[in-house]
Amino acid sequence: MVGGGVAHGPQPRDYYYALPKKVRKKALKGVLSIKLKDGEIIIVEDFSFDAPKTKNAVEVLKNLGLENEKVLIVYNEKDDNFIKSFRNLPKVKLIPVEGLNTYDILNADKVLILKSAAEKINERLG
């Protein structure tokens, strides 16, 4: 080959910054309190479906007046019928309590939290 190589060429670099746990916890508390003050958090009793039907999930959202909103649903216990019913809806994101984060809350118009998940969030944030 004619021309040679590039001396000290560009190297891939990881720019990841690990945010401290206390800062992440404080951000989560802050965004939850803002959403709660704005009336964008809805806490409902735990419920489940007999079969994985998206039609049932749409009906639940319609009853709550959330059919045209970007909704984040926070659940505590894994229920396959519940998850399968909601996961196919385009404006709905399901997330377990352990995976709750500031970005997803900010990205959603409304946050639907099941009661057992709300208790777990309360424990987690103290």
Q: What is the pLDDT of residue 92?
A: 96
With bands split at pLDDT 50, 70 and 90, how would you rate the model's confidence at 1? low
Q: Distance (Å, rounded) from C-alpha 126 to C-alpha 124?
A: 6
Give mean pLDDT, residues 96-112: 96
Q: What is this structure's pTM?
A: 0.85
Beta-carbon contacts of residue 106 (< 8 Å; ≥ 6 apart): 31
Does the pLDDT of residue 26 top 90, yes or no? yes
pLDDT digits (tens, 9 = 90+) for 38-61: 999 999 999 888 999 999 999 999
Higher pLDDT, 126 or 124: 124
CATH superfamily, region 21-125: Ribosomal protein L4/L1 (3.40.1370.10)
List the chain domain ranges: 21-125
**Which pair of structure tokens corresponds to residue 123?**
């424990």
Q: Are 44 and 116 in contact (CB under 8 A)?
A: no
Listed residue (42, 22, 32) closest to 100, CA to CA: 32
Q: What is the pLDDT of residue 106?
A: 97
